[in-house]
Amino acid sequence: MRFSTKALRVGQDPSGHQNLAVIPPIVQSATFAWRNLDDIPRFDYTRVANPNRAALEEVIAGLENGKHAVCFSSGMAAVMAAFSLLEAGDHLLMASDIYGGTQRVFENVLPRRGIGGNEFDASRPETIREQAKPNTKMLIFETPTNPNVRVMDIAAIAREAKALGITTVIDNTFATPALTNPLDLGVDIVVHSTTKYISGHSDIIGGAVVTNDADMSHWFFEHLKTEGGAPSPFDCWLTLRGVKTLAVRMERHCANALAVAEFLEGHPNVERVHYPGLKSHKDHDLAARQMRGFGGMMSFEVKGGAERARRVAENTETFILAESLGGVESLLGYPPLMSHGSMTEEQRLGKGIPPTMIRLSVGIEDVQDLIEDLDRALRA
């Protein structure tokens, strides 16, 4: 079964539903009846398991070519589930180019649990060996990165880590399983913010962890059951509805993003464009080998300083100034105040996030409208 068919059929067979419903019904029940005390039901309490969540977990695992998936109430809850494998005294390697929320956990939460860490340059997999310690148990990275949109060599990172006995975690939110399947490239754990492209409509908050390791999957399930970060049945149902169109949405996201990036690259008021679909991007060749499309995310730097960038961000009409990404609508973000706002300016500059940077989540609108909107804002 191929990707587009999996998205519509895995975990969603009508024969498994009462009255042969083609669309799985919402099972909005907190609890389920037991027939007797000797026959423990598959579903007994929705924090533990629910039919809508079970269907969503099955399809997400299938799309990632994985054996097991556990869904959570947010992407950060999924990241925290991965980190729950660590114990006091363990050491974590975190890619230096990464989402600001993951950075917050690394700096503010894990040290309080006795877990230390170092950053490493994921664009240079050899730095894993340089930064690893005898107690390094895990590393986490993402590709494409947020907000610099760098592409990392997944297989090379996985090989380096495996040689050192380090568990690898990748945030695959930007690429989605439609474009990249990290488990096939040797990664141990894939995390997603299903809020983004997987649901695709900016109407739910959710996350997922995918692995081929049965013991890890059992641990994630126990973590979810114990700590209570379960998504609601309705959010799972909405995500199931959204994931059906993931393949066709990503085709449009990719096509629109490339056209927007090419326009911005030639604009007189743009200093630099970060999009791997451009041949000028330093990771273009790697992205072409590793991905099945270049994605819908990009960032660019505006000429004229921070105030000019802020004016551009505040003057688009089709692009909506908002947090988040991956919905059908085009969103514009300003990383210094949004995704990476908790960092100091010094930290941001050190990670290549200047005050002139704008991040775009290119939606599925008519691409000419998007281009004209950005042109108006850049010339205002």
Is 47 assigned a catalytic role? yes
Active-site pick, 137, 196, 249, 348: 196
Which of 47, 241, 244, 272 is labelled catalytic? 47
Q: Which of 90, 97, 153, 171 is catalytic?
A: 171
Segment 39-54 mean pLDDT: 95
pLDDT band per the 50, 70, 90 thresholds, residue 345: confident
Out of 53, 99, 137, 373, the active site residue is: 99
252 is catalytic: no
Residue 351 pLDDT: 84
pLDDT recorded at residue 166 = 98
pLDDT grade, residue 254 (50/70/90)? very high
Same CATH topology for 3-243 and 246-379: the answer is no
pLDDT confidence of residue 224: 97
pLDDT tens per residue across span 165-176 = 999 999 999 999
* 269 — pLDDT class (breaks 50, 70, 90): very high
If you average pLDDT over residues 327-340, what whole number do you get? 93
Q: What is the mean pLDDT of the chain?
A: 96
* For residue 19, pLDDT beyond 80: no
- The Cα 189–Cα 232 span in angstroms is 23
Query: What mean pLDDT is predicted for residues 231-240?
Result: 98
Average pLDDT of span 298-311: 97
Q: Assign domain 246-379 to a CATH class.
A: alpha beta
What pLDDT, on the 0 to 100 scale, is given for residue 18? Answer: 65
> With respect to CATH, is domain 3-243 assigned 3.40.640.10?
yes
Q: Quick one: what percent of the chain has pLDDT higher than 70?
A: 99
| pLDDT tens digits, 192-205 | 999 999 999 999 99
Is 99 tagged catalytic? yes
- pTM for the model stands at 0.96
- Name the residue ranges covered by the structural domains of the chain: 3-243, 246-379
What distances in angstroms separate CA 121 from CA 50, 95, 98, 229, 284, one per listed residue?
40, 6, 10, 31, 18
